[in-house]
Amino acid sequence: MPAKDQAPVTIPDFSRWKTERRKISVLTAYDFTMARLLDASGVDCLLVGDSLGMVVQGRSTTLGVTLDQMVYHAEMVARAATRAFVVADLPFGTYHASVEQAITSAARFLKETQCQAVKLEGGLRTAPLIRSLVEADIPVMAHVGLTPQSVRRLGGFKVQRDGDAILDDARAVADAGAFAVVLECMPSEVAARVTAEIPIATIGIGAGPDCDGQVLVTPDMLGLFEGFRPRFVRRYAELVEPIRKAAQEYVADVQAGRFPNANESFR
Ligand code: KIV
């Protein structure tokens, strides 16, 4: 189904798809070239995740990512999307201080980029912020379960197993007006219960098959990292070897004087 034959995805589509049990596909994107490919492939939603701190910037957590960096990447991704809905992460330290800080940070994505919504982490404790953002006409995707920005408090990236607490968090963000919620790293039974009990779309990552949609970090699903293989990532490609091979051939060709040839040169 070519993307150009389809209308751009909007917020009402998320609740309609939940009602129709039509699963929602989400992938992360950080630059124009990849976002254009993913959009043309029919992905419903592109998430400019602060995971870019780890998969683009090479950090061990997402904590060092700045708002300026997120806006820079969000702008490139949103420029590429013709159909996919584009959501950008509010990075650590840019929304917890006050409602004013959250609105000022989030508004940058809607004013300076073509993103349609922001994502922020946290359940009960961030629900008041979500309500204020939605009242300020800034659509919010929430994120509960394993919230990577809480890595220091949680003591690592661990599966979250307190089903009652996760359900309370998911209910709180739905009541506050979030249009969808990411459920990260929890037992499938917990995600299934949350999905059945809240009215907004759930987007799972490491949360089993019963969520209304799924999200993966694109470099993970494309197999761009050799060592990193979490259980919940399915690799749809193995790109390390082809890229290494191409680069090695290029180096050999340059060193041997085989590149460029006459057809690749101007006369
Ligand atoms: O930052 C990110 O890419 C995310 C996804 C893992 C959901 O939050």
The pLDDT tens digits for 55-112 are: 999 999 999 999 999 999 999 999 999 999 999 999 999 999 999 999 999 999 999 9
Residue 216 sits at the vertex; the CA angle it makes with 106 and 79, to the nearest 5 degrees, is 50
DSSP codes joined into one string, 152-170: HHHTSS-----HHHHHHHH
Q: What angle do CA 135, 128, 208 make, to 5 degrees?
A: 100
CA distance 252 to 36: 31
For the segment 151-163, the average pLDDT, to the nearest whole number, is 95
Spatial separation of the C-alpha atoms in residues 146 and 71, rounded to whole Å: 24
The pTM for the full model equals 0.96
Q: Which fold has domain 3-236?
A: TIM Barrel (3.20.20)
Does the C-beta of 182 come closer than 6 Å to ligand 1? yes
Q: 206-258: per-residue pLDDT in tens?
A: 999 999 999 999 999 999 998 878 999 999 999 999 999 999 999 999 999 99
Cα separation, 87 vs 260, in Å, equals 42
Q: Is the pLDDT of residue 157 over 60?
A: yes
Name the residue of 48, 51, 220 whose CB sits within 8 Å of the most ligand 1 atoms, as the mutation to test its pocket. Answer: 51
Q: In whole angstroms, what is the distance from residue 138 CA to residue 94 CA?
A: 15
Give catalytic residue positions.
184
Predicted confidence (pLDDT) per residue in 121-153, tens digit? 999 999 999 999 999 999 999 999 999 999 999
pLDDT surpassing 50 at residue 3: no
Closest CA to 116 of 77, 157, 172: 77
Confidence check: pLDDT of 1 > 80 = no
pLDDT band at 2; cut points 50, 70, 90: very low
Q: Is 214 in the pocket of ligand 1 (CB under 6 A)?
A: no
Angle at 265 between CA 264 and CA 266, to 5 degrees: 135
Domain ranges of the chain: 3-236, 240-267
Q: What residue ranges in the chain does DSSP mark as E strands?
A: 24-28, 45-48, 85-89, 117-121, 140-145, 180-184, 201-205, 213-216
Q: Is the CB of 129 under 6 A from ligand 1?
A: no
Nearest to 217 by CA among 189, 184, 250: 184
The predicted model gives 189-215 an average pLDDT of: 98
Tokens of 201: 């779309």
Half-sphere exposure of 61 (CA within 13 A, CB side): 15
239: buried, middle or exposed (CB in 10 Å: 19+, 13-18, 0-12)?
Answer: middle
pLDDT at 42 over 80: yes
Q: Which residues contact 90 (CB under 8 A, 6 or more apart)?
A: 67, 70, 102, 105, 106, 118, 119, 120
Q: What residue owns the CA closest to ligand 1's atom 8?
A: 49
**148: which DSSP letter?**
G
- Going by alpha carbons, the residue nearest to atom 6 of ligand 1 is 217
How confident is residue 113, by pLDDT bands cut at 50, 70 and 90?
A: very high
Q: Specify burial of residue 177 (Cβ count, 10 A radius: 0-12, 13-18, 19+).
A: middle
Output the residue whose Cα is nearest ligand 1's atom 4: 49
